[in-house]
Structures are given as C-alpha cells and as structure tokens.
Structure 1
Amino acid sequence: MQQRPRLTESTTKIVTFERRHIRPIPVTERHGTTRGLFFVWLGINMLPLTVVTGALGPTVFGLSFGWTLVAIAIGNLIGGLGAALHASQGPTLGIPQMLQARGQFGYFGGSLLALIALVMFLGFFASNLVVASQSFAAIFDSDNINVGIIVCALIALVVAIFGYDLVRKMMAVFSVIIGIIVVVSIVITLSNPATFAATPELGYNTAGFFGMVAVGVTWQLAYAPYVSDYSRYMPADGGAKEAFWATYLGLVLGTVLVMVLGAIVGLHATDGDIMAALGGLLGGFGPLVLFAFGVASAVMNSSNIYSGVMCSLTVFETISEEIRINTRARVLMSVAYALLAMFGAIIGKDNFLVIFGDFVSMLLYVLIPWSAINLIDYFVLRKGEYSVGDMFERNGGRYGRWDVVGLVSYLIGIIVQIPFMVSTMYTGPMAEPLGFVDIAWLLGFAVPALVYGVWKRAKLGSTQREEGALV
C-alpha cells in the first residue's frame, strides 16, 4: 500500500516562503491539491482585465451581446484544452513550464522561448496594473491613475516575493469573493432595462466573430507558459489527470463568467474606459464592485510576476554558469520585473485599449507554434518520458544546446502565419480575400506540429537505431 508523503515544513506552516525556484519539486513537497489548483485558475481570471477582454466583442469587433457570448464560449473551450494539457505535464516533471522547453529546443534554445514568455508576462502585468488603477480612479473620480499603478504594483510584488504558497492561497480567497460579486453584477445589469436599449449597430460579422473566438483561444493559451508552475506541486502519481481537469474547469468557468459581464459592459463603453462604464451600469453597487476588482487585480497580478521571474531565472541560468539561482536572485528579479512593468503601464496607459488589442493579437501568433511543438513532443513522441536532470546540464545532455528541429519548426510556424495575420499593427496580404477572418493561428498550430512531429520522429528513430547498433 502506497504511503502518503509525510508532512514537511512546507505543509505545516500557514504560508511557506518559496526556496525551490526553478528546481524540481521533491515528492515530499508535493502538497498541491485538486481543489487548490482549481481555485488558482478560477481566481486568476477574476480580474478587471478579463472584463475589458469580454468587452472587445461589442467595442472592437462590432458583435451583438448574443454573438459575443457564443464567440467567448467557443474560444475559451478550445483554448482551455491546450492550457490544461500543458498543466498535466507539471506533476510528471515537477519543473516550471518554460524550463520544459529545453526538451524541445535545447538548453539555450529553450531560453529563447522563455524570453518570449517573459515579454508576455510583462504585458499582462502592465495591463492589469492599468485596469486595476482605472477601477480605483472611477471610485474616487480621479483622472490620475499613476498612484494606483504604483500601489497595485507594490502589492503584487509583496505577494510574489513569498512565492507559490501565498500566491495560491490569496487567489483561492479572492476567487470566491469576486465570483459572488460577478454573479450579482450580471444579474443587476441584465435586469436593467437600459442594458440592451441602444445597440442597433451591433450584430454578426464573420471577421468580428472569428476575431473574438481567437481572443478566447489566446486568453487561455496565454496561461500555457506557466500552468505547470503551479501543477508541479501536485503528486506525481495520478496528479496529471487531476491537474488537467482542475486547470481546464477553473480557467474556462472563471473566464467565461467574467467575460460575460464584460460583454454587457461593452455595450455601453463609449470612451474606452470599461471600468467606469461598469460602475455606471451598477449604480450604488458599482463602487463596491470596482474596489473589489481593483484589490483582487493588485493581489492576483502577483502570478504574472511569479511566473515571469521563473522565466527570467531560466534565461539568466543559461547566460553564465557563474550565476547562482537562489532566493536572493529570485527576490531581486521580482523587484526589477515589477518596476519595469510599472513604468511600462504608466507610459502606455493613455492608449491602453489599442495597445492591449495589438498585444493580444501578437501574443497568439507567437504562442501557438510553441504550444503545438510542446504538445506533440510530450504526448505523441516522448509520451511524457524526459530526463529532467539533463535539462539542467549546460551542454543540454540528450537535448543538446540548440535543437535545430524545434527551432526551425517554430520559425516555420511564425512564417506561415504572416500572410494571414489580422491586426492594427500589421495585416497580411491574404487577410482581405478571406474577409479579414483571422485563420493565421490555425496554420500556426497545424503546420509546426506536422513539421516537428515528422522530422523529430525520424531523428529520434535514427538515434535509437544508432544506439542499438552500438550495443
């Protein structure tokens, strides 16, 4: 009969200060639970930024409330599968998500992908700072949100410095509080006769519908680079299945619920300030909702610092073998990371909706090929069999310094999307013939998955034959 891991210091304290960083989590410290993981991913979307994203349907894509809801549901259901599949890798390997990229791209090649993910975390952290500060500004009727940005950044930084344990517990608490507030807010707004009174220009358009579906897919896949940062604390035995369902249900339920509220608010947002529009729709209940959202965003934004720092440490470890990854390095990196994102939020706050829309579009194009390659390699080619120790060797061990197959396949995944891209920054030549329907991300997943799968399978087969001949 298998014995449960014994209680350790990490399971007896109310809050444990993290000391493992990017190193594998030992079996005796796998204190994660299905319920805890579910609330992490449910709570992580209880944010003002999720409201803003749901509002993109009416405000940017010109969709009616009904069509926005359909697009939100489809996009999140599809994207959630990818994020949950990545999460199921954590209990098996016990390491952060982007460090696993060394298995497909090599020791140094994996750091390039971690660097891309780092930029993503910075973008989301800065975006959350802006929207959280807009919530507080709407309450206090202030046009200056810089103070709010600074305060929210400091709160997130303190939580992130403690690490996984405090981040997880804080998100669990706020997921329940904000979840109740969101449900009440939806009931209030739907019962308001003015909610659907003046939106005759909104309806269905194919480009807008598929654009909003892509936003839903992107939103979920944006979590893929760090889902294993939390699921790695789940037990190795049976934890993969539990991690999949806890992540999938938490992400999809939390996102769809809050985006529905955003879709309602988007019908009334005329100046791009979604949170002010939300406060106006809710009347006397508005200040309480905006305050709760602002506080929740400040706290739960810590996950973007935490996982961004995991990527930073992965990158810095490859720069020089003299760099030591320890608690001091993690704390200093957290401070630098928070300051960088804070200044970015202050600089870009005036054009937030435009910048955020382009950020989401570009994020989809760069994440999709990585996700495809990782999933094909893990589930089809290697079936979860990796040498974690080799991933920490500077020569890459069996994975090498640079994996040409992975890097070239990723590059191909980016290139094939370029003619079909649709964004305000760049629109490809094939977009107009297709009615500006964004199908780039579909090609960005299918093509690199096929190229990598066929090429890598042949290479692995050749290596196995050579080893057999030597024996």
Structure 2
Amino acid sequence: MSKAQVERRSIDFIPPSERHGRPSSQFTLWFGANLQITAVVDGALAVIFGADALWAIIGLLIGNLAGGAVMALHSAQGPKLGLPQMISSRAQFGVVGAALLLVMVVLMYLGFAATGTVLSGQAINRILQVDATWVGIVIFGLLTYAVAVFGYRWIHRLGRVASIVGALGFGWVTLKIFTDHDGVGLLSHPSFEIVPFLLAISLGAGWQLTFGPYVADYSRYLPADTSAERTFHATLWGSVLGSMWSMAIGALLASIPKSTFLDNQVGFVGDLAGGGLLAFVIYVVIVTGKLTVNTLNAYGGAMTMLTTATGFKGQAVVRPALRAAFVFGFLTASVVIALAASADFLQNFKNFVLLLLMVFTPWSAINLVDFYLVSRERVDIPALYDVSGRYGAINSAGVISYLIGIAAQVPFLAQSMYTGPVTKALGGADVSWIVGLVATALIYYPWAKATSRPPERTIYPQEG
C-alpha cells in the first residue's frame, strides 16, 4: 500500500494548500450512498407498520426533506472549517464534554455498519453461491476496510461509481415493479391513517439526521471559498433523491400482494430482477451501494473514536497508521455484531432508527443553532484541541441542553419496549424528533447567547 495513496489527515484541520474538488462531488457521494438495500428496507418499514404505498412515500418524502435540510446544513460547515464534524462539536460541548455524544455516535455507526453487513453478506453469498453466512459478512468487512483505510479521495471515487451502478440497477428494479407487479395499481386507492403516516415521516427524517454527525467529514476538503449554498444543495438533493428512490422501491415491494420481501430482502430483489445473470448484476449493485455507505460508517466511526480519545490527551494530529488501526477495530466489531444479529431484523431495525432519532436531534439543534446563530460561523479552531482554551473541558450549556432535549422526547416515544403517555394519547403517533429539535433549540440558544465567547473572526491553526 503506497503511503502517497493513503490519506494523511484525520482529525486535524485541512490547510488551504490541500483543499480541492467541487460541490458536485457531494451530490454523487450522497446519491450513491443512498441507493442501497438498507434504505429499501427503511421504506418498506413504513408499509409493514401500517401505511399504504402512496401515503408511505409521501410521508417518507416529507421526512427526508426535513431531515435532509438539517443534515445539509451540517455539510455546509465543512469547507468553512476544514474539520471533521465531531471535532467542531467541541465548540458546543467542550473538548472533553463532546465525548458524551461521541460514544453514542460510535454505537450508531456500529449499528448501521452491522445491519448493512448482514444484507451485503447475503448478496455476496449469492454471488459466490455459498451457504455459510459468515463468508459474505467477512468478505464485505474486508472490502470496506480496503476502501476506508485509503480515505477521503477513494471514498469519493467509490461514490461516483455507486451513483452510476446504483442508478442503472435501481432503474431496472423500478421498471420490473411497474411492468411485472402493476406498480400503478399498488399506488391506487390510497387510505390515509395518521399514525403510520407520522411513522413514515419519522423514518425518513431519522434516516437523514443520522448522517449529520459525519456529513462534514466529506466536505471539509473543499476550498474554503466554496459556496455554502452550493454545498448545501448538492448534499441535500444527492441524499434525498437517492434515499427516496430506494425507499419508494421498498414501499412498493412491501405492498406487492403475497410479497416475500419481508422474509428474504436480498433474494427477493434478485428474483424480481429476473434471476440468473440479472440477479447476479443486482447483487453486485447491492454490494456496491452498501460498500459506499459502509465505508462512510467505518471512516466516520474511526474518526469519532479518535476524536474521543484525543479529547483527553489534547492531540491535534494522528498518524495514518493509527487511523487505519481504528478503522480495523471498528470493522471487526461490526462484523462480530453482524454474525450475531437477531433474526427479528425488521422490528429491531425500526426501533434502532427511531432511537437514533431521539439521540441525534438534540445534537443537531445545538450544533446548528450555535454555528449559524450564536457564533455566526466564527470558530477558534486551535481551541478545539485545548482543554484550557476558549471552549474548555466541558460546556455546561451544550451538555445540559442536550440531556434536557433527550428527556423532553421521552413522553413522545413510540418504541416496542416503551410508549410515552403523550404518544398513547395521540394513538401511537411518534413526533418525538420534532419535540427534540424545538425544545433543545429553545433551551440552548438563550443560554449560549448569554455565556459563550465566540471569536471576532475564525481563528485558523496557522494563526494560533
């Protein structure tokens, strides 16, 4: 492996001399990363839990647009700061205080990586025509490591490949749904029910919001003068168009009479494509799409673990070899979880997505309110690595507002293990994520305005 091919940077600031690329790279990355089988499953959940296909798709669209707008606002921070997303969170939570959220972020990455590895492992096993479950899972883990360890440039290249491959493969699947299973008929005679409709919105919003903690990791190499508006729109529409195409397919597949999609998601899509060589091609499409997003999970997970560890040591630079070791450790853990995955995949995945929604909406509210309204895009970057600096070890305003934001959602939760009293009164409708965003912002904004000390302008490392 040539050192010149491996990304040198990790948690440190990207200097102007190393900035490159255009906002269009954000579109292809997020479009390709969302044309994937797990997003298909997410769309199917809206139908499985009560919505008809048309209203499920409408609800998913509303959720994707709302969550995608929040996620894309995080992406727009990347060119301005040149930092990984979670390093910038130290401005709101403190250099050490950010570790509270970082642990949850790592768990999120592990959960998505493991569920994606299960589905991709099934596709690889079908490509190789082997029955041993572990074979596909381990191979997929190794493929993910091979891309993630090279870093930023290779991840974007994979995104461009996944955009083309995914569009062709999903285009064929869409055509087969409408020609072989009367796709128009599946959308006819809609019946509206508020509870599953709100669940569909939550599933769409949750899908997009969970990209927030690492979306700026993939825009931070763009030149500092890159238009924030262009970065925002490239990220938003790449992510929303990719995810909605996938989720709409999922909603339609789950609506097919006597559909066996629930029992064998990967195999069903392969058979739908036409079996034989066509199925083989679709399995390759599935692996390519999942490889793209799983690489994001592995890269982002390793960066988050490094952010956590270095927060206690005050490090600002990490060697590529250490980053590679963290990537390997993360992927090993995700493979182990995938091998031990529960058979009740769909129910557990729904609960997992909604739980993540509860955890990350308060963080998004705090990060965006602080960056755009309180500090007004002015950050002391060297202080993000110094516990004695401007942001300190722990920022009470950020940490306490975050915890209150989580607590405020509890009465509104709709989980299999717990349903909040307000949710019961609403007939099971889950609106917790809206409560989390609004309540947290209302608490954090006046507190931060009164206590924060933002610099008069952004202070870059070379100015230290």
Whether TM exceeds 0.5 here: the answer is yes
- Secondary structure of 1:166's match? helix
In 1, distance between residues paired with 2:155 and 2:20?
Answer: 14
Does 1:451 find its partner at 2:443?
Answer: yes
Q: What's 2:250 paired with? A: 262
Deviation at 1:384, TM superposition (A): 0.3
Count of residues in correspondence between the two structures: 450
In 2, distance between residues paired with 1:20 and 1:142?
Answer: 39
Does 1:37 find its partner at 2:26?
Answer: yes
Deviation at 1:298, TM superposition (A): 3.0
When structure 1 is superposed on structure 2, of 347-356 and 167-176 the one drifting more is 347-356
Quick one: structure 1 residues 102 and 49, their matched pair in 2 at CA, closer, same or farther if it must change by over 3 Å?
A: same
In 1, distance between residues paired with 2:416 and 2:369?
Answer: 32
In 2, distance between residues paired with 1:456 and 1:306?
Answer: 31
2:347 counterpart (354, 359, 380): 354
Structure 2 contact 375–454 (Cα < 8 Å) conserved: no
Quick one: structure 1 residues 81 and 250, their matched pair in 2 at CA, closer, same or farther if it must change by over 3 Å?
A: same
- Structure 1 residues 286-301: aligned runs within 5 Å: 286-301=279-294
1:27 counterpart (1, 16, 31): 16
Does 1:276 find its partner at 2:264?
Answer: no
In 1, distance between residues paired with 2:370 and 2:202?
Answer: 24
Structure 1 contact 62–204 (Cα < 8 Å) conserved: no
In 2, distance between residues paired with 1:401 and 1:413?
Answer: 21
Deviation at 1:323, TM superposition (A): 10
- Secondary structure of 1:394's match? coil
Kindly provide the amino acid, as one letter, of the partner of residue 296 in structure 1.
G
Kindly provide the amino acid, as one letter, of the partner of residue 431 in structure 1.
T
When structure 1 is superposed on structure 2, of 110-119 and 373-382 the one drifting more is 110-119
In 1, distance between residues paired with 2:292 and 2:226?
Answer: 31
Does 1:159 find its partner at 2:152?
Answer: no
RMSD: 2.5
Q: Deviations over 1:88-138 (max 9, x none)?
A: 111111100011110000000112222221111111111110111223345
Q: What's 2:419 paired with? A: 427
In 2, distance between residues paired with 1:197 and 1:240?
Answer: 42
Structure 1 contact 130–349 (Cα < 8 Å) conserved: no
When structure 1 is superposed on structure 2, of 141-150 and 158-167 the one drifting more is 141-150
Does 1:176 find its partner at 2:168?
Answer: no
Q: What's 2:58 paired with? A: 70
What are structure 2's unaligned runs of at least 5 residues? 457-464
Q: What's 2:235 paired with? A: 247
Quick one: structure 1 residues 58 and 40, their matched pair in 2 at CA, closer, same or farther if it must change by over 3 Å?
A: same
Quick one: structure 1 residues 140 and 370, their matched pair in 2 at CA, closer, same or farther if it must change by over 3 Å?
A: same
Structure 2 contact 358–436 (Cα < 8 Å) conserved: yes
Does 1:310 find its partner at 2:303?
Answer: yes
What are structure 1's unaligned runs of at least 5 residues? 1-12, 465-471
Quick one: structure 1 residues 14 and 58, their matched pair in 2 at CA, closer, same or farther if it must change by over 3 Å?
A: farther
Structure 1 contact 62–202 (Cα < 8 Å) conserved: no
Structure 2 contact 125–135 (Cα < 8 Å) conserved: no
Kindly provide the amino acid, as one letter, of the partner of residue 387 in structure 2.
R
Kindly provide the amino acid, as one letter, of the partner of residue 160 in structure 1.
A
- Secondary structure of 1:55's match? helix
- Secondary structure of 1:227's match? helix
Percentage of pairs with the same residue? 34
Structure 1 contact 265–274 (Cα < 8 Å) conserved: no
Q: Deviations over 1:179-232 (max 9, x none)?
A: 121112101111114667799998432111101100100111111111110111
Deviation at 1:261, TM superposition (A): 1.3
Structure 1 contact 265–277 (Cα < 8 Å) conserved: no
2:368 counterpart (375, 379, 402): 375
Kindly provide the amino acid, as one letter, of the partner of residue 39 in structure 2.
T
Structure 2 contact 378–455 (Cα < 8 Å) conserved: no
Kindly provide the amino acid, as one letter, of the partner of residue 108 in structure 2.
M
When structure 1 is superposed on structure 2, of 68-77 and 198-207 the one drifting more is 198-207
Deviation at 1:290, TM superposition (A): 2.3
In 1, distance between residues paired with 2:36 and 2:364?
Answer: 25
- Secondary structure of 1:62's match? coil
Structure 1 contact 15–165 (Cα < 8 Å) conserved: no
Structure 2 contact 253–261 (Cα < 8 Å) conserved: no
Deviation at 1:239, TM superposition (A): 3.6
Quick one: structure 1 residues 317 and 213, their matched pair in 2 at CA, closer, same or farther if it must change by over 3 Å?
A: same
Quick one: structure 1 residues 115 and 77, their matched pair in 2 at CA, closer, same or farther if it must change by over 3 Å?
A: same
In 1, distance between residues paired with 2:165 and 2:85?
Answer: 29
1:107 counterpart (76, 88, 95): 95
Normalised to the residue count of structure 2, the TM-score between the two structures is 0.91
Q: What's 2:327 paired with? A: 334
Kindly provide the amino acid, as one letter, of the partner of residue 97 in structure 1.
Q
Q: What's 1:325 paired with? A: 318
In 1, distance between residues paired with 2:328 and 2:126?
Answer: 28
When structure 1 is superposed on structure 2, of 171-180 and 404-413 the one drifting more is 171-180
Deviation at 1:34, TM superposition (A): 1.5
Quick one: structure 1 residues 250 and 15, their matched pair in 2 at CA, closer, same or farther if it must change by over 3 Å?
A: farther
Kindly provide the amino acid, as one letter, of the partner of residue 182 in structure 1.
F
Normalised to the residue count of structure 1, the TM-score between the two structures is 0.90
- Structure 1 residues 59-98: aligned runs within 5 Å: 59=48, 61-98=49-86
When structure 1 is superposed on structure 2, of 240-249 and 356-365 the one drifting more is 240-249
Structure 1 contact 88–244 (Cα < 8 Å) conserved: yes
Structure 2 contact 92–370 (Cα < 8 Å) conserved: yes
